[in-house]
Amino acid sequence: TRRLTERRDTVLGASYRLFYRNPVHLVRGEGQYLWDASGRKYLDAYNNVASLGHCHPAVTAAVTAQMQQLNTHTRYLHENILNYTDDLLSTMPAELNKAMYMCTGSEANDLAIRVAKAYSGGEGIIATTEAYHGTSELTSGISPALGTGQPLAPTARLVEAPDAYRLGSTAGADGSELGTWFANRIRAAIADMEAHGIRFAGFIADSIFSSDGVLPGPAGYLREAAEVIHRAGGIIIADEVQPGFGRTGDAFWGFQRHGIVPDVVTLGKPMGNGIPVSGLVAKADVLAAFSDTIPYFNTFGGNPVSMAAAQAVLSTIRAEGLQEHSRVVGGSLLDALRGLGDTHESVGDVRGAGLFIGFELVKDRTTREPHRELALAVLEQLRERGVLTSVAGPHGNVLKLRPPLAFQPGDIDWLVGALDDSLTALYA
């Protein structure tokens, strides 16, 4: 590993960050498991890209077959893109009836921002205070998660994400009060834009607020904010790069948990189970403002091989019942993780939807003071116990547990046992 680390340092741009003090050198993956170069097996508790499971045979077969046949671009006719689009749109509310394809989540969000601007005639975008939406100039300008070195767009405004655990006493534990609290934040951000001569274009959020600390509930809390946004002439962009494709268990898309219909939905990560494919789905009239006047061509986006991969993903989610699986196994995992609170005082809050869970560590349960150092130490301990994951949230104290949907009930013991042992070891 040292030699590989040194080679990286020599030839790769310094912006890349490795996970772990003792980096992991992976050479193989299957289902929810990974193996390193020494043959050691790991439980992947973090990767929603390989959502069906690493190297899923259905995707490998579909990609191989199409690659042997033809791969070209969207300026020629091909059935794959049309068949896939029919299938994809059937998972969405009827108003969301136009699709476009790219290769990364960043490109999808970049286009979504351009669509918001074209439709509204404005330029102000509201995002959350820990959001990450991508690598391009437009998306990094609304991605405070990149840190203070990355300037925010002057037209951007940030709102705190609705954190039921931390705002419980001020916002009320019940969804409607949290919803009102959040809607008021949006209202204030729009007013601030107007005061600075910036016309509001839209609001973008990951509908489970993953980088804001994994904030799934209470379901429905986005409804009031959605009304405020629409009344002010802006659009709602649901960034489904993380919660999408059945992961939250109770719905196929994260926004559906909140009972809202966004104007634009962006898709990525799990869409191709590892093949770079992303998409944007929009209401026809919203998209028209952009697409009637500006051409869009993405060399690799929507190509027959990408579409074959994406089709295999959708078909496999259905064939293997992965949304329901995520709901059931995610529920059992959530219960088992909550049980750790009985023996470990540092467990502050455990929340989730399906196989998307936030495990929040605190110094004191009464004050709820975040315990960032502990979370980082737990990550390293978990790594030594063969469990791979990472942290999220403004205080970096929330373990983000988001395994491939191939995660099985039998894996709960490994994950929860490793967490239990890690917490015990750190307090011994």
| Contact flag: residue 106 with ligand PMP (CB under 6 A) | yes
156-159/124-128 β-pairing: parallel
Helices and strands, number each (H, E), in the chain: 13, 16
**Binding flags for ligand PMP, 132-161, as an x/- string (CB under 6 A):** xxxx--------------------------
C-beta of 242 vs 256, nearer to ligand PMP: 242
41-44/357-364 β-pairing: unpaired
Strand partners, 253: none
Determine the Cα–Cα distance for residues 402 and 425; give it in Å rounded to an integer: 24
CA distances 382 to 355, 401, 415, Å, are: 18, 12, 9
| Contact flag: residue 268 with ligand PMP (CB under 6 A) | yes
C-beta of 242 vs 316, nearer to ligand PMP: 242
CB 416, min distance to ligand PMP, A: 25
C-beta of 238 vs 379, nearer to ligand PMP: 238
DSSP 368: T
Torsion sign, CA atoms 13, 19, 25, 26: negative
3-state secondary structure of 370: strand
C-beta of 241 vs 353, nearer to ligand PMP: 241
Place of tokens 């301990």: 381
Structure tokens that stand for 61 in this block: 């077969």
3-state secondary structure of 357: strand
**Binding flags for ligand PMP, 333-352, as an x/- string (CB under 6 A):** --------------------
3-state secondary structure of 74: coil
Residue 243: other Cβ atoms inside 10 A: 30
Interface with ligand PMP in residues 184-243 (CB under 6 A): 206, 239, 241-242
C-beta of 237 vs 314, nearer to ligand PMP: 237
C-beta of 13 vs 197, nearer to ligand PMP: 13
**Binding flags for ligand PMP, 235-264, as an x/- string (CB under 6 A):** ----x-xx----------------------
Residue type, 13: G
CB 193, min distance to ligand PMP, A: 22
Give the torsion through C-alpha atoms of 310, 311, 314, 320, to 10 deg.
-120
Whether the Cβ atoms of residue 182 and residue 159 lie closer than 8 Å to each other: yes
Determine the Cα–Cα distance for residues 146 and 134; give it in Å rounded to an integer: 9
The one segment of 131-139, 312-320, 333-341, 350-358 that binds ligand PMP by CB under 6 A? 131-139
Contact with ligand PMP (CB under 6 A) among 85, 104, 248, 303: 104
CB 69, min distance to ligand PMP, A: 26
C-beta of 229 vs 237, nearer to ligand PMP: 237
Q: Which residue is nearest to ligand PMP (CB)?
A: 105
CB 142, min distance to ligand PMP, A: 10
C-beta of 92 vs 103, nearer to ligand PMP: 103
C-beta of 159 vs 347, nearer to ligand PMP: 159
Name the site residues for ligand PMP (rule: CB under 6 A): 104-106, 109, 132-135, 206, 239, 241-242, 268
